[in-house]
């Protein structure tokens, strides 16, 4: 099945300020200004670290009316949430710079052996950092189907936890893309009694058909040719290859999830497959990667994470980066002591 990438939303409003790049080396550069990146930057800034967030202004959830499942902030529009986040980072001295990263690479270490990275923006500006946090998020790759992408984030959805309550009791269709769609159907069945599964060329065994029938899920095997709009921004239904139109108000589709990796090849970060299709950056505890000095957080490494989980991951990575910087600062301070000073320190600890 051919596929297409969901169109990027427009950047955040131009009236949002962009900070100037600082001179010299900063403690951390955060690549990505979504929930993970901003919360990571917040933790670093509150630890009195010099931190710069590079924000392309194209968050994955920009088409959504509100962020859901986030305690205390449920229903907040994404633009408002990220606007608050940028203000909070700046409140503690962090910088948020509008731009896109064209290259992130290793640089020669400092005189005391500490790590260095260079980050180049698309407009040619360059900054140097001691540590990097990659929080670029992911992009959803949709099936190549007329009418599908234009309704993405509204009548075409993917996550029952992000959008489910808002589409409850509507006539919902599941557009099958692979094995993940089978579980998708069970989750969306919790939200409506009127659910149609469009197999669209995928195979269903007898056991699955029995399970669907037991839950009142109707299966349509005919290929799907088009998503039909209602002329008012929503959808009217799904047109099949035989000409029939099956009325639906909502269509759920399991997308292929691809980490946004543009400009990051020079870091040599390891990638791995996502079960069910897609690619992500591999990571360990607190988002640490195999590359010293580089952390990842949010959907770029955990594609299924909602906003709250991504923000928490960013906070954890930010705290870990600060802890490693504290160790490096102390190592450098000890190394800078005069020889006599080192002897004295050793004597007092003997």
Radius of gyration of the chain (CA): 24
pLDDT number for residue 14: 41
User: For the chain, which residues score pLDDT lower than 70?
Assistant: 1-15, 340-350
What is the reported pLDDT for 6?
56
98: left (phi over 0), alpha (psi -120 to 50) or beta: beta
List the structure tokens of 337.
């002591």
- The half-sphere exposure of 209 on its side-chain side, counting CA atoms within 13 A, is 9
pTM here is 0.90
Q: What is the pLDDT of residues 261-300, one digit of tens each?
A: 999 999 999 999 988 778 999 999 999 999 999 999 999 9
Beta bridge partners, 327, equal: none
Q: Which CA distances in Å does 331 have to 51, 113, 318, 334?
A: 21, 10, 20, 5
Which residue carries 């949430």 as its tokens? Answer: 81
Q: Convert the pLDDT of each residue in 77-128 to its tens digit.
A: 999 999 999 999 999 999 999 999 999 999 999 999 999 999 999 999 999 9
CA distance 135 to 122: 17
Residue ranges and CATH numbers for the domains of the chain are 3-139+256-335 (3.50.50.60), 159-253 (3.50.50.60)
Residue 107 bridge partners (DSSP) = 116
pLDDT at position 62 is: 77
pLDDT at residue 107, as a whole number? 97
**Nearest to residue 105, comparing CAs of 115, 122, 118, 121?**
118
Reported residue count of the chain is 350
In sequence order, what are the beta bridge partners of 309? Answer: none
Query: What six digits make up the tokens of 328?
Result: 């490096």
Name every residue whose Cβ is closer than 8 Å to that of residue 346 and which is 6 or more positions away in sequence: none
Give the per-residue pLDDT at 1. Answer: 39
Rounded-to-integer distance, Cα 247 and Cα 287, Å: 44
Of 141, 176, 8, 282, nearest to 184 by C-alpha is 176
Does residue 234 sit in helix, strand or coil? coil
pLDDT reported for residue 331: 95
Q: What is the DSSP string of 152-177?
A: BTTTEE--HHHHTGGGTTS-EEEE--
Distance CA 26, CA 329 (A): 13
């Amino acid at each position: 099945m051919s596929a297409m990438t969901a169109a990027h939303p427009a950047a955040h409003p131009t009236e949002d300020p962009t900070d100037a790049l600082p001179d010299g080396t900063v403690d951390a550069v955060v690549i990505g200004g979504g929930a993970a990146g901003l919360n990571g930057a917040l933790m670093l800034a509150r630890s009195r670290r010099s931190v710069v967030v590079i924000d392309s202004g194209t968050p994955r959830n920009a088409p959504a009316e509100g962020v859901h499942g986030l305690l205390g902030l449920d229903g907040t529009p994404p633009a408002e949430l990220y606007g608050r986040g940028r203000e909070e980072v700046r409140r503690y001295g962090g910088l948020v710079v509008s731009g896109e990263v064209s290259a992130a690479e290793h640089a020669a270490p400092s005189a005391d052996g500490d790590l260095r990275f260079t980050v180049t923006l698309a407009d040619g500006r360059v900054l140097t950092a001691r540590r990097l946090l990659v929080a670029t998020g992911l992009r959803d790759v949709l099936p190549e189907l007329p009418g599908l992408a234009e309704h993405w984030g509204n009548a075409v959805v993917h996550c029952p936890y992000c959008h489910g309550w808002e589409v409850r009791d509507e006539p919902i269709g599941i557009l099958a893309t692979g094995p993940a769609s089978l579980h998708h159907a069970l989750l969306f069945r919790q939200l409506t009694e009127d659910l149609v599964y469009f197999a669209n060329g995928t195979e269903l065994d007898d056991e699955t058909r029995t399970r669907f029938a037991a839950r009142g899920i109707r299966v349509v095997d005919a290929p799907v040719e088009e998503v039909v709009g209602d002329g008012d921004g929503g959808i009217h239904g799904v047109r099949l290859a035989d000409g029939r139109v099956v009325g639906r108000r909502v269509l759920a589709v399991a997308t292929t999830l691809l980490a946004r990796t543009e400009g990051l090849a020079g870091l040599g970060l390891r990638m791995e497959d996502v079960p069910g299709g897609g690619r992500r950056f591999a990571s360990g505890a607190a988002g640490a990667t195999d590359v010293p000095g580089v952390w990842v957080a949010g959907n770029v490494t955990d594609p299924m994470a909602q906003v709250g989980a991504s923000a928490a991951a960013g906070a954890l990575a930010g705290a870990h980066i600060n802890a490693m910087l504290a160790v490096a600062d102390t190592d450098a301070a000890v190394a800078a002591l005069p020889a006599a000073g080192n002897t004295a320190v050793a004597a007092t600890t003997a």
